[in-house]
Homo-oligomer: A and B are copies of this chain.
Amino acid sequence: MRGQIMLFGDSITEQSFRPGGWGAALANAYCRQADVVLRGYAGYNTKWALFLLNHIFPLDSSKARIATTIFFGANDAALSGRTNERFHVPIEDYKQNLRKIVLHLKVIVWFQECSPTMLIVLITPPPFYGERRHEYLKSLLGENAPKLSERTNEVTGQYARACIETAKEMGVMSVDLWSKMQETDDWQNKFLIDGLHLTMEGNAIVYQEVIKVFNEAGLSADNMPFDFPNHSDIDAKNPEEAFQQKCFLMSHCGFVRDL
């Protein structure tokens, strides 16, 4: 009966239900209206994400998907010829893979009567801070920590721009996290815990930017009905009435939304 908000991405999505996480904040915002479904896969790039597409978003699903966030790029942007080369995806392939993911979701919308208006949001990778990343890897690996950085903020920025371009080209919404975070002084320490992943404040920025796009698209939780009556609408002496009204609506309209 409730629609789903799908969070599809890499470790920054997988970790989004940790304390202060942006995924948990979304689940809380829609706690009576929609299900937030976590599909985050640490270490995944867009190339590997393609293998999951038919499983996570099958064409014959009857689930009503309200929105999907697509949040890859931090791994794709790993540098070729460095220690994390296995995650690297050339930038043109990254764009092409994002196009394939968006296209797949658009086909679902076209196929499924129950997802007539799924909002698709591409999120760029966050900025990268090499010094902190190096410190972190040194604390983990000691002398075995790689001397040359596995990523640079400059190259990650190229992937972020590629993500935004692809969103425009495909006619879907986007969040330019890479630029947004760098508007704040000391973003390197405020928003990044290990140079790559997000602090609670970094998570708050993701939530703030994603919910802004959701609201702009008319998907504010305030505009969406509860799946069952608010307790104040239930007459304690005759509770049946409130539930009959609601369930009548639901059984007649399938998925009900006031968009």
Contact = CB atoms under 8 A, between A and B. Distances in A.
A252 interface: no
A231 B21 contact: no
A234 B41 contact: no
Contact of A48 (B32, B35, B239, B250): B239
A28 interface: yes
Interface residues of A, number: 43
B51 A239 contact: yes
Given A14-B32, A42-B231, A47 B250 contact: no
A225 interface: no
B19 A52 contact: no
A86 interface: yes
A130 interface: no
Interface in A201-259: 227-228, 230-232, 234, 236, 239-240, 243, 247, 250
A19 B17 contact: no
A44 B38 CA distance: 27
Given A1-B55, A55-B228, A86-B236, 14 more contacts: A15-B31, A17-B28, A19-B19, A19-B24, A21-B24, A23-B27, A27-B27, A43-B230, A43-B231, A51-B228, A51-B239, A51-B247, A55-B247, A87-B231
Given A48-B231, A52-B228, A31 B38 contact: yes
A101 to B, nearest CB: 15
Contacts of A47: 239
A37 B35 contact: yes
